[in-house]
Amino acid sequence: DSGVTQTPKHLITATGQRVTLRCSPRSGDLSVYWYQQSLDQGLQFLIQYYNGEERAKGNILERFSAQQFPDLHSELNLSSLELGDSALYFCASSVLGSGELFFGEGSRLTVL
Amino acid sequence: GIQVEQSPPDLILQEGANSTLRCNFSDSVNNLQWFHQNPWGQLINLFYIPSGTKQNGRLSATTVATERYSLLYISSSQTTDSGVYFCAANEKLTFGTGTRLTIIP
């Protein structure tokens, strides 16, 4: 158990819908990262937050947004969902903005 | 950005065999991690190893930062070692495409 908690574990929804994925980092970790793992793109970095502030952006679509709350948990919002958004979404956390990252078990999103 | 390449892409071994997985990266790194993704999709931390050598049981890893590569050694393979092994580099973790390891009983 990495100490990073993600919910929900599985989610099935329809095209055009909006979903929210939630992540609680390890106790004491200030930085949260989001990754997408799809069959054709592999594991890709989406976005990083550090102590509530956006720190870095990767290949995140405009239809996706995220935030980190004062209690340090984070949410990834995916809207106007398309079939191609079906993927495993991981959250990771680290103590500072660098160093070793620890991953949650992922949220598997299926868009039908 | 940095490019991370892993080899071989696939590896099939008999239980008890040893293996070496390689990770090449295109630029200097300040973070290098190895992960095992099990059949259930979980990403399990194996090593945080931006340089040097570490060992954990049957697994060990070496990163030669000056030559831009890292190696993961698995000895006396067990069926539970099956899965995909990823290396990932730098602060926001650029992942390689992985090595799929299958251990046959």
Inter-chain residue contact B95 with A108, CB threshold 8 Å: no
Do B8 and B97 touch, CB atoms closer than 8 A?
no
Instruction: State the nearest Cα–Cα gap between B45 and chain A, in angstroms.
Output: 7
| pLDDT at A59 (0 to 100) | 86
Do B81 and B21 touch, CB atoms closer than 8 A?
no
Spatial distance between the Cα atoms of B89 and A32, rounded to a whole number of angstroms: 17
Q: Which residues contact A88 (CB under 8 A, 6 or more apart)?
A: A36, A37, A38, A106, A107, A108, A109, B41
Q: Could you tell me the pLDDT band of residue B1, with boundaries at 50, 70 and 90?
A: confident
Instruction: State the nearest Cα–Cα gap between B14 and chain A, in angstroms.
Output: 27
| pLDDT at B30 (0 to 100) | 86
Written as one letter, the residue type at B102 is T
Interface mutation vs chain A, best among B31, B35, B43, most A CBs within 10 Å: B43
Largest CA distance in chain A: 38
Please name every residue paired with A94 in a beta bridge, in sequence order, or none if there are none.
A31
Mean of the pLDDT values across residues B53-77?
97
| pLDDT at B3 (0 to 100) | 94
Q: Is A97 on the interface with B (CB under 8 A)?
A: yes
**For A4-58, how does the pLDDT look when each residue is reduced to its tens digit (9 = 90+)?**
999 999 999 999 999 999 999 999 999 999 999 998 888 999 999 999 999 999 9
Q: Is A76 on the interface with B (CB under 8 A)?
A: no
Q: Which of B27, B31, B23, B28 is nearest to B5 (CA)?
A: B23
Inter-chain residue contact B33 with A102, CB threshold 8 Å: no
| pLDDT at A101 (0 to 100) | 93
Mean of the pLDDT values across residues B81-86?
97
User: How would you write chain B as a 3-class SS string?
Assistant: CCCEEEECCEEEEECCCCEEEEEEECCCCCCEEEEEECCCCCEEEEEECCCEEEEECCEEEEEEHHHCEEEEEECCCCHHHCEEEEEEECCCCEECCCEEEEEEC
Spatial distance between the Cα atoms of A84 and B66, rounded to a whole number of angstroms: 39
Please name every residue paired with B18 in a beta bridge, in sequence order, or none if there are none.
none
Torsion of CA B55, B57, B59, B62, to 10 degrees: 10
SS3 (DSSP) at A21 = strand
Instruction: State the nearest Cα–Cα gap between B95 and chain A, in angstroms.
Output: 6
* Cα dist from A54 to A25, A68, B85, whole Å: 15, 8, 29
| pLDDT at A1 (0 to 100) | 86
